[in-house]
Amino acid sequence: MPELPEVETMRRGILAVEGATITAAEKVKCRRKPITISPGMSTIRRRLVGKKVKQVGRIGKRVFLQMENNDRLLFEPRMTGLVLVADPPSQQHVRFRLEFSHGEKEVLYWDRRGLGMIYLLNDQQYQDRFSLKNLGPDALEVTGKLLKEIFGKSKRPVKVALLDQKKVAGIGNLYASEILFVAAIHPAKQCNRITMSQWDLIAETTIEILQTAIEHEGSTLSDGTYRNALNDPGGYQNMHRVYDKEGETCPICMDSVISRIVQAQRSTFFCKSCQKRS
């Protein structure tokens, strides 16, 4: 967390800075665990201040500002990072600030645990780092045919495979459980045993769930960490079917209860009746 819908919500929340010129870049003093900022702030200021934002974009689970010279400043929130334009959840966890030329706009990066990263890449560095050999296609653009090409020969459990960002970018633990539940695929089923029609269904379900989650501005879980760019909670958590619902009645069959297993050190939630392994 955050996953594709939350990061896409962050991107949309700061779209107003497109076309604005950066007037200041500041690493905010923080007594908490420092985040990684690369290169150093003097270099970041030299390359950003006075430059116009050409595009606010997203690559996988990262938000970026693309400048007029194609330098890109990337925010990688990881577990607890937020990209904000409004008052942050707490002042002591603000790590980075950008100021802009018009409308009194600013962008803040906030991170409670300090696990996130901010880095500035030139165009060639960006292309090298995010080529298809290093980052898979965006989850909003997958097809059944593409998923079969990527995973069809793998013996990995499908839930674990969907989390591999080098194969498909943007799906995390929460949405993988939700996708497989709606597609009625057991999370431990090996990829090489999934049929073409099932891959089609996984692809269709992936796009439907992620787009719906974006429309509801992502999921704010019980810890309350994730917030949109205006420091408001998301709404998709109210539509979760299985995630973090161990022991609750399945909303589809209304007979079995939601089970929890651990895969690759992550919790997976599913219904044994609706998602049969055979």
Domains of the chain: 4-129 (3.20.190.10), 139-271 (1.10.8.50)
- pLDDT value for 103: 64
Compute the average pLDDT of residues 102-124.
91
Which of 47, 58, 61, 241 is an active site residue?
Answer: 61
What's the pTM? 0.95
Q: Which strands sit side by side in the sheet containing 36-38, from one edge to the other?
A: 36-38, 117-121, 72-76, 62-67, 53-59
2 catalytically annotated: yes
CA dist., res. 213 & res. 26, Å (int)? 32
Residues 10-38 have pLDDT tens digits of 999 999 999 999 999 999 998 888 999 99
Q: Is 204 exposed, middle or buried (0-12, 13-18, 19+ CB in 10 A)?
A: middle
Compute the average pLDDT of residues 228-256.
95
- pLDDT value for 224: 79
Tell me the sheet residues that pair with 22.
Answer: 100
In total, the chain counts a number of residues equal to 278
Token representation of residue 274: 């609706």
CA dist., res. 267 & res. 218, Å (int)? 19
11 catalytically annotated: no
CA dist., res. 75 & res. 115, Å (int)? 11
- pLDDT value for 104: 62
Specify whether the CB–CB gap between 170 and 3 falls below 8 A.
Answer: yes
246 catalytically annotated: no
HSE-CB of 193 using CA atoms within 13 angstroms = 13
Find the helix or strand (DSSP H, E) in which 148 lies.
Answer: helix 144-151
Residues 188-217 have pLDDT tens digits of 999 999 999 999 999 999 999 999 999 999
**Residue 29 three-state SS:** coil
Residues 121-135 have pLDDT tens digits of 999 999 999 998 899
Token representation of residue 224: 């309350």
Which pLDDT band holds residue 225 (cuts at 50, 70, 90)? confident
* Cis check: omega of the bond before 39, within 30 degrees of 0: yes
Residues 42-79 have pLDDT tens digits of 999 999 999 999 999 999 999 999 999 999 999 999 98
CA dist., res. 60 & res. 50, Å (int)? 28
